[in-house]
Amino acid sequence: MNGAHALIRTLVANGVDTCFTNPGTSEMHFVAALDDVPEMRPVLALFEGVATGAADGYGRMAGKPAATLLHLGPGLGNGLANLHNARRARTPIVNIVGDHATYHQALDAPLASDIVGVARNVSRWVRESKGPETVGADAVEAIKEARRGGVATLILPADVSWLEGADPRAEVTLDVVVASFDDAVDLAAKALRSGEPAALLVGGRALRERGLTAASRIAQATGAKLLCETFPARLERGAGLPEVERLAYLAEFAVAQMQDVHQLVLVDAKEPVSFFAYPNFPSRLAPESCEIHDLVPDGALAEAALEALADAVGAPADGALPAPAARPDRPTGALNPQSMAQAIGALLPEGAIVSDEAQTGGLFVAGATAGAPRHDWLTLTGGAIGQGMPVATGAAVACPDRKVLNLEADGSAMYTLQSLWTQAREHLDVTTIIFDNRAYAILNLELSRVGARTDGNAADQFDLSRPPLDFVALARGMGVDATRVETAEDFVGALERSLNEPGPYLIDAIIPNRL
């Protein structure tokens, strides 16, 4: 058996049965082996950033790794931004990068590069297979590391793929995490019972039903403010689940949320800092006098640690505060971010998966959907735009029985628009809504904060109206039906139709370039 066959068979034997691909010449033996291992589902992307972002969305929803297949260092480079987002989300991904044959690498061929150096920026683990006899063991280690939460990059030289002498490896067994958090629970309970203003900042796995329920019990019993990360990897929310306030993106708003907090308990989250440095503004968002307590160092234990903390502060078992069922009315009249949010809140189906990269246009959607039927919310974890459409694509592959709603800004849509082609090719049930204000509005906001003119060359760098982007034509050109809407009534009608029919669809919603 050659190395490529052994690698794919090892992957599928361990539940890694989906591979998002953008291959080249050095990966041909891997591609050829797909015919002999039908258990592996290959999903072609037209750009590496779509492949890596889709693997991220898949891993967030499936709870297990997908693989990628990328072409040499330049292909890895094209996929790097969404691997960065996946690293921040701690999404399990087995990232396979082809390389030149081992004996060819020293010749400095045109596509030669430092793949290991590039991969280290986004990977928790990197290894180059040295021969077909090591491929199976290398794949086992890659799967193990990915399952621990993050990107594991396996570099596969072309001759290692084609040479015989490889054997697939059996099932991977992970070490059982055994840790005591009793001392941390005692310290956190003491802080929450101190009488000083306190907050819980939760993230990671703590944002699923079990963790949210325990966190809400604690907040209700102690009066602590309940916050979550600004950009959670996956947040379960909706009617019947405890609502959690997200930490604001803009630093001044986040400081206001934290200004009175003297005791801060982190749960599978990092100390909050501003996204960027600003003159005369603190980078750390908690007050200097605030004591910070890290409840649990391992995200896998977050839910159990929260439940232990709830018991330690005497929170009743039924003490969580669930969000009531509530929907806004269907809007009429002008189409703007507020009326779009109303429409989405009125129509969001139960079990929906929302991939949110709407930026400023989507500011009101979270509030309008808090009482909608239960759903999952996936966000821009690493801040590198171009994630929303690929993450929606991967989520739809992972959960074919659930409607995926992609809330997408017009500027960031253009980074990975090729996702639509993959959605059409794979018949994925994704509705994409373009919040089309014809501007990089978030950057206009940042520009105004430095005192720049709003009518000069600086502001012109964020203007997308010359010429305007025709998203309907772009979508149809990639096999996805689409419509443009300019009133609230038309938006409601288009959204309702798309939610009631399977398959990919795009709605280009024209909205003002202001909130």
What is the per-residue DSSP string for 102-158?
A: TTTGGG--TT---HHHHHHTT-SEEEE--SHHHHHHHHHHHHHHHHTTSEEEEEEEH
166-217 pLDDT tens trace: 989 877 776 665 667 888 999 999 999 999 999 999 999 999 999 999 999 9
CA neighbours closer than 13 Å in the CB half-sphere of residue 23: 22
The one-character DSSP state at 179 is: -
Angle at which helices 302-312 and 209-222 cross, to 10°: 20
304-327 pLDDT tens trace: 999 999 999 999 999 999 999 999
Distances (CA, A) of 371 to 238, 286, 500: 5, 30, 20
Res. 296 pLDDT band, cuts 50 70 90: confident
Domain 3-162 has CATH 3.40.50.970: yes
Res. 445 pLDDT band, cuts 50 70 90: low
Predicted pLDDT of residue 514: 67
- pLDDT (mean) for 34-55: 98
Beta partners for residue 152, in sequence order:
94, 125
pLDDT at 277 over 80: yes
- pLDDT (mean) for 255-277: 93
Q: Does residue 76 contact residue 121 with C-beta atoms inside 8 Å? A: no
Res. 14 pLDDT band, cuts 50 70 90: very high
Residue of 380, 444, 449, 372 whose CA lies nearest to 413:
380
Euclidean distance between CA atoms 462 and 478, whole angstroms: 26
329-358 pLDDT tens trace: 999 999 999 999 999 999 999 999 999 999
249-263 pLDDT tens trace: 888 889 999 999 999
pTM summary value = 0.95
Question: 130: how many CB neighbours lie within 10 A of its CB?
Answer: 12
Amino acid found at 71: H
Predicted pLDDT of residue 297: 72
Range list for CATH 3.40.50.970 in the chain: 3-162, 337-510
| Cα distance between the two ends of the chain | 60
- 493: tokens are 């009608």
pLDDT at 515 over 60: no
Percent of the chain with pLDDT over 90: 86
Phi, psi of 454 (to 5 degrees): -100, 5
pLDDT at 295 over 80: yes
**The domain 182-312 is classified under which CATH number: 3.30.70.20, 3.40.50.1220, 3.40.50.300, 3.30.980.20?**
3.40.50.1220
**The domain 337-510 is classified under which CATH number: 3.20.20.100, 3.40.50.970, 3.10.450.50, 3.60.15.10?**
3.40.50.970
Residue of 143, 125, 184 whose CA lies nearest to 59:
143
Range list for CATH 3.40.50.1220 in the chain: 182-312
